[in-house]
Structure 1
Amino acid sequence: MPKIIIAEDHSVLRMGVKIIIGERYPKAFIREADTFYHVLDLLREAPCDLLLLDIQLPGGGHPRMIAEVQGIRPATPILVFSNFDEETHAISYLKAGASGYLQKTAPPETVQEAISTVIGGAPWISAPMQSRLLGHFPKNKMQESSQLSPREFEVMQMMVKGAGNPEIKAALNIQSSTLSTFKMKIFRKMGVNNVIELADKVSAFPARQETKP
């Protein structure tokens, strides 16, 4: 039973998000906050498994919100939930330490996927942003990432090509929990904490020709 804080100052939107979460996690324990000050108070009272954070909350509106949350609960996964354009604002919040950036225009199934991914310990970022940040692997080459298993490398290849979670799960015939585990292992083995760092690591690797078994 995950413990989730929905930090959103519009009550109707909070209600809608609660319904979406309830469809995936019927027994989730959900607390609500309509200001950033209220968020900090709730975190002082008890930890949570996910903070779904509207960055335009009264009292917020800047990437320093992430550091303030982590100052109280360093291990809290933070999924930014915003109307702001992802390409313009996501990077600053991811660099600040957020676990993901999700636009409020996302369909319910994407909201559920993002929440499950972050609760599972893996970062979340949309397919277009993955493609923009990570670039593409050449079709006939592999990166020097021998620590990854063949399956993990396969998942990473799809991630960097911009595939979203539903597409990866369908192509590889795996469940959401399995995909979250793969993503966690990829980031740990690559020695990075977020997508930005992974992009830097991947771009620094020399490419070698793929060898046939």
Structure 2
Amino acid sequence: MNHALILEDQPEARTWMAEKLLQAYPTIEVKQACSLDQAFKHCKKITFDLALIDINLPDGTGNELILNLSQTSPQTISIVVTIYDDEHHIFPALQAGAKGYLLKDMPAEKFIERLQGITSGEPALSSEITLKLVRYFSTINPEPGPLLTAREKEVLTLIAKGYTQPEVSQLLDLSPHTINGYIKTIYRKLSINSRAEATLEAARLGLVRP
């Protein structure tokens, strides 16, 4: 992680996020913006690895920046940081391209832990958000999807439950290389590219329950 952007209109919250971001990645360069206009200006000059984005802003919604980054800078990992934990805010943000969703009232150490997990492919999701997503998708009848083998379903289930690749390798007594191969195949079959999406697909397919 080399460059990060924080889009937040409240100075105290912006300072808090910057502090936690630097604790997670001490060498990262952080740019701060208090409005969409300012954030877009930063994005024209710098390619960001990570963006922490509030939703409700004086001049619009953070989803506008998330959508723009997903189209113009797909390598940027957009993470929502907000007080809102309802479906009316969660799903539009994820649909716009957010790769994570963190709540502002989560403990500082958990916030830092979620940020650090990004580099190893962990979804940056507050536990409350993960539970809401799983509950939501578990109420929907599973739809037919690409045929996964029994082993692929096993790997997907463990990934959706939050296990890391080394842990999955140990639990299934398979080499890390083999597990990595399974994950690539699963992602290809399901047309996904993140652990957050894997969690949603596992719930949709009825592999995990609240």
What TM-score comes out, normalization by structure 2 length? 0.68
Superposed counterparts of 1:90-169, under 5 Å = 90-121=90-121, 123-126=123-126, 127-135=130-138, 145-146=148-149, 152-153=155-156, 155-156=158-159, 158-159=161-162, 168=163
Which secondary structure state, in structure 2, belongs to the residue aligned with residue 52 of structure 1?
strand
Residue 83 (structure 2) pairs with residue 83 (structure 1): yes
Distance 2:200 2:87 in 1: 15
Q: Percent identity?
A: 21
2:38 corresponding residue in structure 1: 38
Q: 1:100-128: CA deviations, max 9, x gaps?
A: 11111111122223323445555433331
Q: Which has the higher helix share?
A: 2
C-alpha spacing 1:36/1:155, structure 2 compared with 1 (3 Å): same
Residue 191 of structure 1 and its aligned partner are, at CA, apart by 2.3
1:203 corresponding residue in structure 2: 204
Distance 1:22 1:198 in 2: 28
CA contact (8 A) 2:156 2:198 kept: no
Residue 54 (structure 2) pairs with residue 54 (structure 1): yes
1:11 corresponding residue in structure 2: 11
Residue 187 (structure 2) pairs with residue 188 (structure 1): yes
C-alpha spacing 1:20/1:4, structure 2 compared with 1 (3 Å): same
2:172 corresponding residue in structure 1: none
CA contact (8 A) 2:24 2:113 kept: no
Q: Which amino acid aligns with 1:104?
A: K
For structure 1, list consecutive stretches of 5 or more residues without a partner in the other structure. Answer: 137-142, 160-167, 208-213
CA contact (8 A) 1:5 1:48 kept: yes
For structure 2, list consecutive stretches of 5 or more residues without a partner in the other structure. Answer: 140-145, 170-175
| Aligned residue pair count | 184
